[in-house]
Amino acid sequence: MRKILPLLLVLLAVIIKAQQYPLVVYNFSPVAVAKLKIRVTDPTTWQYDCHPIAYGETAGLIQPGTTVTYDLMNNSASKTPPINQWDIMSHYIGIPDAIYNVNAGATIPAAITSIINWQSITIVFVNGETIDVGRGCTQPGTPTYNSGATPSGRTAATNTLAAPAQQILTIF
């Protein structure tokens, strides 16, 4: 038992560290969101190009008046709407680039799931209009574009909260 306890504490610490900032999406708009295109990166290690990069898209609508929380990449297929797979470019950190179909049971390595920065999100509405929120990856200090609007008046904004730690995407 004494040998198992330290191992359990290490595993618990890894789980707590892995993606500790969930993405919470609130759709307060009267229009359904057809798709979220999400990029997750770690700009602290490769600041000029934000490697590794994980890219996923929702498969289904986010209806008006609903909320969805994406807390872990490996369980994103269990959310409504799901993100069934992640296309990951990770060769810069020694892991071959791959597409992980988490809906089919693929497990993304911990070195990638520890990415906790929701870099950029493209919101695609059912009428085809889009809003981009997030941050670019061209150089350190790249300005953020944390809000936007569509020609028909839909708006969105993203903010990071410290307590509880989470990234909030609000759509009006």
Q: Is residue 14 part of a domain?
A: no
pLDDT at 98 over 90: yes
Lowest mean pLDDT, pick from 70-84, 96-110, 129-143, 152-166: 129-143
Q: Is residue 15 part of a domain?
A: no
- Mean per-residue pLDDT, 17-24: 68
Q: Is residue 6 part of a domain?
A: no
Residue 6 DSSP label: H
Residue 87 is predicted with a pLDDT of 96
Q: pTM for the complete prediction?
A: 0.81
Q: Is residue 3 part of a domain?
A: no
Sign of the dihedral defined by the CA atoms of residues 89, 71, 43, 109, in that order = negative
User: What is the separation of C-alpha 13 from the centre of its chain, rounded to a whole number of angstroms?
Assistant: 21
Range of the domain at 108: 20-171
pLDDT at 8 over 60: no
Q: Is residue 128 part of a domain?
A: yes
Residue 5 is inside which H or E element, if any? helix 4-17
Q: Is residue 12 part of a domain?
A: no
pLDDT at 52 over 90: no
Domain count, the chain: 1
Q: Which strands, in side-by-side order, build the sheet including 23-27?
A: 66-70, 23-27, 166-171, 155-161, 147-149
With 0-12 CB in 10 A as exposed, 13-18 as middle and 19+ as buried, what is 105?
exposed
Task: Please enumerate in sequence order all residues whose Cβ is within 8 A of that of 108, keeping only pairs 6 or more positions apart, or say none.
Answer: 54, 73, 74, 86, 88, 100, 102
Task: Please enumerate in sequence order all residues whose Cβ is within 8 A of that of 100, keeping only pairs 6 or more positions apart, or say none.
Answer: 85, 86, 88, 106, 107, 108
Residue 111 is predicted with a pLDDT of 83
Torsional class of 134: left (φ above 0), alpha (ψ -120 to 50), beta (otherwise): left
Tell me the pLDDT band of 117, cut-offs 50, 70 and 90.
confident
Q: In whole numbers, what is the pLDDT of the chain averaged over residues?
A: 81
